[in-house]
Amino acid sequence: MTDPRRTEQVHPQYTNLDTLPTTELVQAFADDQLNAIQAVRQAAPAIAAAIDAAFPRLERGGRIVYAGAGTSGRLGVLDATELTPTFSWPAERAVPLIAGGERAIRQAVEGAEDSFDLGVTDVRGANVGPDDILIGVAASGTTPYVLGTLQAAREAGALTIALANNPGAPLLAAAQCAILLDTGPEIISGSTRLKAGTAQKITLNTLSSALMVRLGKVYGNLMVDVKATNTKLEGRAVRLVQHATGTNEDTARQALNEADGSVKTAIVMLELSLRADEADRLLEKHAGHARAALEDSP
């Protein structure tokens, strides 16, 4: 019997994949991945609607909760983990739930993704509430664990967003914001870590990054809430301040030192000739939005 899910069907174009020379094999993988980009582009209106629905809840202090199994769950863990160093987003406000727990990040946990009740339990254990958003991710769109997380999150009053790679998937019907990433059959039949996973990663990056822009974590297109936790990021912080203010390296470093490493505070200090505490108060007045603070010169 043929599985109706497009992600599980055999790709008709690559039936001789195992006979291709290495160069052609690489080209085939690269070409097929282009379909992931196209799927995300087609889903752009749904992605934008999800961002607009999620933004007010995060403004009120809510959390981004990710839920998935296997590759989809690991992509959620990755996106959650990267928000803190990239945008200084509090780690406790990015909560990844993966079927089977932390052990499942590195190895398969048999049966975990097949448990609807485990999804419900994990959401309740995370104390998901009305100001939170839950992003459920499953290529098949049928994973019981993720369906359980969506149901529990909706019952708790959270906003639910679903990413799935098959039209008509139950996951999409279970969420308030449904995002279909129709990537079709995989070049290696059923291996949804390929273009289905790529489309999921692009979409998660887009969702979280756009929300961070709306929340004032970006000035222009500068990553002004970067958390400088190593030498590379310290250098990046200096360059960001220089770019935004037109100052030299020494001036930028001095401002960053006085601003306790905060790029946006250093920018406001230099642009408005303020002390660090004055710049911080002005930023606080404008909910951390550097542009609004700069346009409100005291």
Residue numbers annotated as active site: 82, 113
Element (DSSP H or E) covering residue 181: none
User: Could you give the CA distance from residue 157 to residue 130 in angstroms, rounded to a whole number?
Assistant: 4
Chain centre distance of CA 221? 17
Q: Which of 208, 183, 180 is nearest to 198 (CA)?
A: 183
Query: Are 163 and 99 within 8 A, CB to CB?
Result: no
Q: Which residues contact 192 (CB under 8 A, 6 or more apart)?
A: 7, 71, 72, 139, 140, 165, 186
Query: What is the phi-psi region of residue 63: left when phi exceeds 0, alpha when psi lies from -120 to 50, beta otherwise?
Result: beta
CA angle 124, 129, 131 (to 5 degrees): 155
Angstrom distances, CA of residue 162 to CA of 58, 135, 222, 291: 18, 6, 29, 32
Residue 58 token pair: 């995060």
Q: CB burial class (10 A; 0-12, 13-18, 19+) of residue 37?
A: middle
**Dist CA 162 CA 135 (whole Å):** 6
H or E, element range at 135: strand 133-138
- For tokens 């273009």, what's the residue? 195
